[in-house]
Amino acid sequence: MNEKKLSELISRSVINVDKPTGMTSNDVVITIKKMFNLKRCGHTGTLDPRVTGVLIVALENATKAMPVMMRLDKEYEGVLYLHKDVDKTKLEKVISEHFIGEIIQVPPVKSHVARKARKRKVYYFDILEKNEKNVKFRTKVESGTYIRKLCSDIGEKLGIKAHMKELRRIAVGHFKIAQSHSLDEIKNAYKSCKEGKETSLKNILIPIEKATSHVKKVYVKDLSVSSVRHGAPIKSSDIVKLGKNIKSDEIVGILSSKDELIAIGKKTKSVIKIERVF
């Protein structure tokens, strides 16, 4: 693969990284930025240094799509440590009654957001295994839910102390841990690509069109592509195909007839306003 083609491929891609323990999310971003010699690079959701698993890293132009990936639901597996042993039946009862569905959560002290009570959704919190005070769990939550705080809140509701002992993020929306890649794997694939063996890197790089597959789509006429790229709002006369049930103020992906993502916009009553152009 020639340098220009490789550069274009990288600039419109994201990577599903299996973040190792001991690194911050920003450490991973800096490592990849240096590895690929990039100007821009970012991640779509912070993991604590001791937490491992799915970290979505956007490269170059794909960083413009980060806002629509940050809102994806998250899935985790971890270990909740109870400071005092509690019967499994009682634990499951407290969780089902108080920590499933819409909950009120105050971000932890060390978070980077305002410590104000806010609503978040917990889709499930399943006990996989209980070994005395160690409770292995799997949970799926709305973006912005703090699992560490969830664990301590469960302990508080039980009338004891509890904390998160281990945590691994196993999914971010449609990005799964089974399709993630270690930093060494990414480094070796990039090196092989520079040597003419491009298959491994192609399997790692996720085009922004695929990365944003969860976003509703609007297809525009070929004649309208240029004006969209210059930020002009999209009128009904520009549209070839419109996704189903797009609501007012909803974020949408704008694509050409070649299935190329050219912009992200927001639906209004009369037009679609362009927010970011690729």
List the catalytic residues. 48
Which amino acid, one-letter code, is at 96? Answer: S
Angle between helices 25-36 and 183-194 (to 10 degrees): 10
DSSP conformation class of 234: B
Whether the Cβ atoms of residue 113 and residue 107 lie closer than 8 Å to each other? yes
**Residues in the chain, total:** 278
Coil vs helix vs strand at 8:
helix
For residue 206, the Cα-to-chain-centroid distance in whole angstroms is: 13
The sign of the torsion formed by the CA atoms of 260, 266, 269, 270 equals: negative
Query: Which among 24, 71, 93 is positioned nearest to 52, based on CA atoms?
Result: 24
